[in-house]
Each structure stands twice: as C-alpha cells, then as structure tokens.
C-alpha cells in the first residue's frame, strides 16, 4: 500500500501534541538526517512525539498498517537502526527535558535527550552520572545497550546507575519499570532494551561532582606507541576510578598524518593531573589540547573526531590487559595500510578504552540482561568515508578488524563475559546469542512475552522468534 493511501489524517487525529511528517512536508527531509549519512532512509512517516501517549498511538498505527518501526533519539547508530525505508519513525528528538531532584540525587531525562542535555542540567546542581563519551550521543540508545563513560571506573556502567524507566511496549501499554515495579522488564531493558520498546523516561542516580576535572587530547608520533600502551596498561590496573584514558589511531587535520591519539581524564585539578600523567607528557606529544574544565565539558572531548556527516560504520571488539604492544602495533599497521589504500577513509579512527572495570565487575553477570562484564576492555573501529563507491570496502575492513581482535581476545578471555559490546556492533552482524551470552535464554523468553511480533527488530543482536 503506497504512503499516499495510508490515512495520515487518522494518525494525526489520534495524537495529542505531536507532529507527523510525510514526504514533501516542511521538515521531513531534515528529520531523516543521522550521524552517518549512510544510515539515512526515506521513512513514510516521521512522528515527532512529545509524550508516551503519542508514542503508544504511533506504535499501534504502525502495526495496524504493517509498517516497519524505527526509533530515533541521538541517531548515532551506523547500522541504520534508527531509520526505516518506507516505515514509521518514532522520533524522540522533541523529548529533551531533564529534571534533577537534588535531595534524592536523581536525574530524570526524557527519551530524546542527548548526553549534553544531562551533563549540563546535572552540573547546575553539582551532580553528574555515568554518560557517553561523545555528548551528542542519545541517552536512550547508549543506556539501553549498557553505557561506558569517563565515570565508569568510579561508578560502573550507565545501566548500573539506572533507577527507573518508563517504556512503551509494542502493544501500546505504557509501563513503569524499576527493581520493584515490573522487575523482569527492567532487567531486560538494561542491556537489551532496544529490542523491547520505546523508553520515554530514564531516572539515573546522580553523584556529587562539584570539582573541576582535567583532560583532553594528546597527539603522538607513531614511534611512541609502545610507551603509550605501557602507560595505559599501568593506569587501568592501578587507578581507583579517578582516571581513565582512550588510546587511538587517527590522521588528524590539517596534516592528515597517521598518529597515536590519547584522550586523558583525571577527576581532579590540573596540578594533580599533570603529575599523574607525567610519564605520558614526558613522551613529548606533538599536540597538547588538555586543560582543566568543568565536568559538564568532559563528554565533548571526543566530539572533534566524532562529528556529524559523511558515511560511517563501526565494529567493536575487546582486548585483555595488559594489552600486547605487538597487537597494538599490528592494529596501527593495518590502520595505516587501510587509509593509504582508501584515502577517502582518512577520517577513520580506532579507539581503545582504558576504563577500570572494577566497579562494573562488582555486579553479577546475570543481574541485568547486559552480559559483557569481565576483565576485558572495548576497542572500536570507527570507519568514516565520503563516497558510496567505497561502502563495501570500508564495511568489510571494519568487520575484518573486529574479527581479528576478537580472535586474539579468545585466547585470554576469562569468565562468562561475551567480550562484545552490543552498542559497538555498527555493522549489525552479531546474533543475540553472541551479545547476551549466559543471559540469552531469559532475554529470549522475555522478548517473546513483551514483543512477540518482533516489532522492535533493530536492537543489538538479531533475535529469531
């Protein structure tokens, strides 16, 4: 059935305070924009919701007319999961209110918020919570898949600090969830939430964060790699959660020379931070963009290498610590060859996260649907290019690199963590069994209970119902 035959007026009439955009409407084209241009698809309907009731009506309409459903918040998915070709998009971008309850140290964010919204609202009260390291990432997508950030070393994952969530199910029901209310559904949302419904509200635990912090980007020549990795290995094994760092590879503007990038974080002032990171500064970085800043600005440190535009894909894997310097060198060599072979992909990056897992691993592997706890650390291959003629080459390289590192990890992987972060599966190749590991059977049973028609079929891990 063509989109012009579908009763758009019926949909509009059922909504209380939300806009419906169809092809040809003002604002329709811009509503399709995503972080990656390769993830943009022409929806038949874009419903810019403002409340849970209207989310419910939109979902029921989509099923009545057999429309594919996608949900967009921050729009960062590179697999296209926040877009649909000819279907209906539940667009949460008008739901960006954040409220802070200082007395109870809670932060409540609507479903369409990005991390910048949360960081700034919480900062007004001297609070913070564990959020994404790129502050224009959606709160929803990141949270529902787990959530790592600069405060992970101190407070665990984003989901470890999620106290409650309001979710709209495929059948239109609006459910309140927490440890005490619909606990099974709350269990599922924390890791597999993208496959269960549209979350319209998140309530997080807030922590006092009144002091300034220190951080930013350091750029090194490739010959410094081994010493940088040795320092990162020391940091992640010795930190009490006050520090963290990301080690990566890129070819930053304007010279576009392959370099070792480090983004550092210290939860304290400049003097203490410079002393702590002295061995790194002694390696004579060719660029130093570090500074003291309010915590609210920390999650903007990676924004310069994570801008909107171009075509992108991502694939994550994991590594064990101490990270082998020879493995790091091999990855750098592979990266260098790739951008030399495909100059169009010169903005691509590789990022290795050295965030302490001590707090993460205090929580049982089965306490939530998330199943990636363990002594392993995320690596992300973030490939970026311009021309669609290079789509296959770039996606194949990204997938291959993820597999290559995963093979190395398997030699050292201990415990029952899956060694794969669902939010980093931007090529959408992982099965649900691979993402949810020991929790898969319970996740599957709850999926059949709450979304038996698999309306929400774009989350991390593919389900066969």
CATH code assigned to 213-293+309-428: 3.40.462.20
Question: Comparing C-alpha atoms, which of 427, 422, 419, 376 is closest to residue 400?
Answer: 427
Q: What is the mean pLDDT of residues 63-84?
A: 96
Beta strands in 73-196 (DSSP E): 88-91, 98-101, 106-110, 127-128, 162-168, 174-178
Averaged pLDDT, 51-72? 98
CATH 3.40.50.620 fits 6-91, yes or no: no
Residue 333 pLDDT greater than 50, yes or no: yes
What single string gives the DSSP state of each residue in 183-218? HHHHHHHHHHGGGT-EEEEEEEE-EE--S-EEEEEE
pLDDT digits (tens, 9 = 90+) for 155-202: 999 999 999 999 999 999 999 999 999 999 999 999 999 999 999 999
* Residue extents of the structural domains in the chain: 6-91, 98-209, 213-293+309-428
Please return the burial class of 341, using the count of CB atoms within 10 Å of its CB with bins 0-12, 13-18 and 19+.
exposed
User: Which residue intervals of 239-303 are DSSP H helices?
Assistant: 270-276, 278-281
**Calpha distance 454→409 (Å, rounded):** 32
CA distances for 52 relative to 38, 140, 268, 295, angstroms: 29, 14, 40, 31
Report the percentage of the chain scoring pLDDT > 90: 92
Confidence grade of residue 209 (pLDDT, cut at 50, 70, 90): very high
Q: What three-state secondary structure class fits 351? A: strand
Rounded CA-CA distance 230/67 in Å is: 52
Tokens of 310: 């171009």
Confidence of residue 6 (pLDDT cuts 50, 70, 90): low
Partners of 29 in the beta sheet?
A: none
Q: Is the pLDDT of residue 5 over 60?
A: no
- On whether the CB atoms of residues 154 and 177 are closer than 8 A, the answer is no
- Length, in residues, of the chain: 465
> What is the number of alpha carbons within 13 Å of residue 178 lying toward its C-beta?
11
Query: Yes or no: is domain 98-209 CATH 3.30.465.10?
Result: yes
Average pLDDT, the chain: 96
Q: Mind listing the pLDDT tens digit for each residue in 336-382?
A: 999 999 999 999 999 999 999 999 999 999 999 999 999 999 999 99
Distance, CA of 321 to CA of 301 (rounded, Å): 24
Instruction: Pick the closest to residue 401 from 383, 385, 417 (CA basis).
Output: 383
Residue 305: predicted pLDDT: 85
How many CA within 13 A on the CB side of residue 305?
Answer: 28
| Residue-level pLDDT at 410 | 86
Name the 3-class secondary structure at 376: coil
**Residue 314 in 3-state DSSP?**
strand
> Looking up tokens 């209110």, which residue turns up?
97
pLDDT confidence band for 2 (50 / 70 / 90): very low
412 has pLDDT over 90: no
Q: Do domains 98-209 and 213-293+309-428 have the same CATH topology?
A: no
pLDDT at 3 over 50: no
């Amino acid at each position: 059935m063509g989109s012009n035959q579908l009763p758009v007026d019926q949909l509009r009439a059922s909504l209380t305070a939300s806009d419906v955009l169809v092809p040809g409407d003002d604002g329709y084209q811009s509503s399709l924009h995503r972080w990656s241009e390769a993830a943009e698809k022409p929806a038949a309907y874009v419903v810019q919701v403002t409340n849970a009731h209207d989310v419910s009506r939109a979902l029921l309409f989509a099923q009545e007319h057999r429309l594919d459903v996608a949900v967009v918040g921050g729009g960062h998915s590179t697999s296209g999961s926040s877009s649909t070709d000819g279907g209906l998009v539940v667009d949460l971008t008008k739901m960006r209110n954040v409220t802070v309850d200082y007395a109870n140290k809670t932060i409540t964010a609507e479903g369409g918020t990005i991390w910048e919204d949360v960081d700034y609202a919480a900062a007004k009260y001297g609070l913070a919570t564990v959020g994404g390291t790129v502050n224009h990432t959606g709160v929803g997508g990141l949270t529902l898949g787990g959530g790592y950030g600069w405060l992970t070393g101190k407070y665990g994952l984003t989901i470890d600090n999620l106290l409650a969530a309001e979710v709209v199910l495929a059948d239109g029901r609006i459910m309140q969830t927490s440890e005490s209310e619909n606990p099974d559904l709350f269990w599922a949302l924390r890791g597999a939430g993208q496959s269960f419904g549209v979350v319209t509200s998140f309530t997080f635990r807030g922590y006092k964060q009144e002091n300034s912090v220190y951080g930013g980007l350091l750029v090194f020549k490739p010959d410094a790699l081994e010493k940088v990795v040795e320092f990162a290995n020391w940091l992640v094994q010795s930190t009490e959660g006050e520090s963290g760092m990301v080690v990566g590879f890129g070819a930053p503007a304007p010279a576009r020379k392959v370099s070792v990038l480090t983004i550092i974080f210290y939860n304290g002032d400049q003097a203490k931070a410079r002393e702590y990171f002295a061995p790194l500064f002694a390696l004579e970085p060719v660029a130093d963009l570090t500074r003291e800043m309010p915590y609210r600005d920390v999650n903007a440190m990676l924004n310069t290498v994570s801008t909107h535009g171009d075509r992108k894909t991502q694939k994550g894997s994991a590594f064990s610590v101490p990270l082998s310097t020879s493995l790091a060198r091999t990855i750098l060599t592979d990266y260098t060859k790739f951008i030399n072979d495909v100059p169009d992909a010169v903005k691509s990056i590789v990022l290795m996260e050295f965030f302490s897992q001590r707090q993460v691993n205090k929580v049982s592997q089965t306490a939530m649907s998330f199943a990636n706890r363990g002594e392993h650390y995320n690596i992300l291959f973030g490939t970026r290019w311009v021309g669609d003629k290079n789509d296959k080459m770039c996606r194949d390289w990204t997938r291959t690199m993820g597999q290559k590192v995963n093979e190395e990890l398997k030699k050292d992987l201990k415990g029952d963590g899956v060694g794969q972060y669902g939010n980093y599966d931007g090529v959408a190749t992982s099965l649900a069994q691979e993402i949810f590991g020991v929790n898969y059977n319970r996740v599957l049973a709850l999926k059949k209970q709450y979304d038996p028609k698999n309306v929400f079929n774009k989350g991390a891990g593919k389900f066969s119902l």
